[in-house]
Amino acid sequence: MYKYLDDCEPVSLKELDIRQFIMLQESDNPLVKIRFFLDTAYLKRDFILDLVIWNLSEDNLEQTKKVVYYVLNNFGKLFETGWTALYYYLCGVDSNVKEHTMQEFFVEQVDFENPYYTIQLEMNCDHLEDGQARYCFVVATACDYRKWMIADDNMRVYMTGKRLVGLTMTMMTAK
């Protein structure tokens, strides 16, 4: 998928330069690590956010900046919306998931000890042409399929604006 750089030092949100992704794409590694704080009703925690931006050019730079800063400035609420929708989806698929609270889902299922990433925010600038904020949260998961039905080490939560529009995951029926 991506080459993760151990020597890639995280930057602060103030230090983030979106234009640098144009150059980073040339090395097939359009990734910048950002020191970040996850602030949701269910989980508050410092972590390193991986920001990945594909197909950035001078032509779409301004539109991309608007979308990136919209998502970063509203990250807690947007992530909470997507992750909450995933929880309710899993509850609908398997009633055993309902035995666990949403608080448990946020705290236990996001893998903050993953050696590669915790949460990635991915954007493909080719999908931003109509002004809609389209992005994906890639979340490292604890892979506890007996409790949460998730049998993969990550989840992809696709968003448009403030709405969940899709999920990519491997699920197993809890037994």
Instruction: Please give, one letter per residue, the 3-state secondary structure of the chain.
Output: CCCCCCCCCCECHHHCCCCHHHHHHHCCCCEEEEEEEEECCCCEEEEEEEEEEECCCCCCHHHHHHHHHHHHHCHHHHHHHHHHHHHHHHHHHCHHHHHCCHHHHHHHHECCCCCCCCEEEEEEHHHCCCCCCEEEEEEEECCCHHHHCECCCEEEEEEECCEEEEEECCECCCC
Question: Taking a C-beta distance cutoff of 8 angstroms, is the pair 135, 123 a contact?
Answer: yes
- Structure tokens given for 61: 């730079």
Q: What is the pLDDT of residue 158?
A: 94
Q: What is the pLDDT of residue 147?
A: 61
Give me the tens of pLDDT residue by residue for the chain, a chain 175 residues long: 334 444 578 888 898 999 999 988 887 778 899 999 999 999 999 999 999 999 999 999 999 999 999 999 999 999 999 999 989 988 888 888 888 899 998 998 888 988 888 999 999 998 887 878 899 999 988 766 666 656 567 789 999 999 999 988 655 444 4
What number of other Cβ atoms are within 10 A of residue 6's Cβ? Answer: 6
Q: What is the pLDDT of residue 128?
A: 84
Q: What is the pLDDT of residue 168?
A: 82
Domain boundaries, the chain: 13-168
Q: What is the pLDDT of residue 47?
A: 95
Q: What is the pLDDT of residue 1?
A: 34
The rounded distance, in Å, linking the Cα atoms of 146 and 120 is: 25
What number of other Cβ atoms are within 10 A of residue 159's Cβ? Answer: 21
Q: What is the pLDDT of residue 7?
A: 56
The rounded distance, in Å, linking the Cα atoms of 100 and 91 is: 9
Q: What is the pLDDT of residue 21?
A: 92
Q: What is the pLDDT of residue 4?
A: 43
